[in-house]
Amino acid sequence: MRKFQTKPKILIKMSAFFKQTGQKCLNWAVKNPKKFFTYSMIFLSVSFAGSLIQGIFFPSDATFRIKPPILYSKSGATQNAVNNDKEMEKIVNKLKTLKVKREHNALQKEDSLRIEYLYNQYQQLKNAGSTGGNLSKNQK
């Protein structure tokens, strides 16, 4: 069996001291509510001013900073738009080559499927570039 460990005497004395001091403080606060309020407001005001001074003159490098998602960041949006434009140019060039093929009557069944696929891709990229492209007609 384990022996029950008793708290050292110094801890017992310290906890009793803190309990007595806490009771004295509470009793004083109940007897002197205006002074307690005044001291509390002074403490809070000084703490707030100190916090402002620390934040302004000594900013911390390790502060928590919220980074916007790439979807909403300007550089990501411009990069995405540039990529969309490049993809749209590629699709247009492929469609032009297929148009030349059509003029020479050399189109095959696979080419018509390819044209349809490229057209759908082009529409998706075009709609992704516009602001309201992803909203349905009911949501606008």
pLDDT tens profile 22-64: 999 999 999 999 999 999 999 999 999 999 998 888 877 665 6
Residue 132: per-residue pLDDT:
44
21 confidence band (pLDDT: 50, 70, 90): very high
Pair 91, 124: CB distance under 8 Å: no
124 and 80 belong to one structural domain: yes
Question: What is the C-alpha separation between 87 and 121, in angstroms, rounded?
Answer: 9
111 falls within a domain: yes
Angle formed by the axes of helices 74-103 and 109-129, to 10°?
Answer: 150
Pair 132, 87: CB distance under 8 Å: no
Residue 75: per-residue pLDDT:
59
Tokens 């022996």 — which residue? 3
The pTM score is: 0.38
81 and 40 belong to one structural domain: no
Q: Which two tokens stand for residue 127?
A: 């709609």
137 falls within a domain: no
Please state the domain count of the chain: 2
95 and 125 belong to one structural domain: yes
Q: Range with the lowest mean pLDDT among 11-15, 30-34, 116-120, 133-137?
A: 133-137
53 and 79 belong to one structural domain: no
118 and 79 belong to one structural domain: yes
138 falls within a domain: no
135 falls within a domain: no
33 and 78 belong to one structural domain: no
Does pLDDT of 134 surpass 50?
A: no
91 and 117 belong to one structural domain: yes
44 and 78 belong to one structural domain: no
5 falls within a domain: no
Question: What is the span of the domain harbouring residue 26?
Answer: 10-57
Q: Which two tokens stand for residue 37?
A: 């309020």
Q: What are the percentages of helix, strand and coil residues in the chain, rounded to 5? A: 70, 0, 30
84 and 123 belong to one structural domain: yes
Q: What angle do CA 56, 59, 60 make, to 5 degrees?
A: 155
137 confidence band (pLDDT: 50, 70, 90): very low
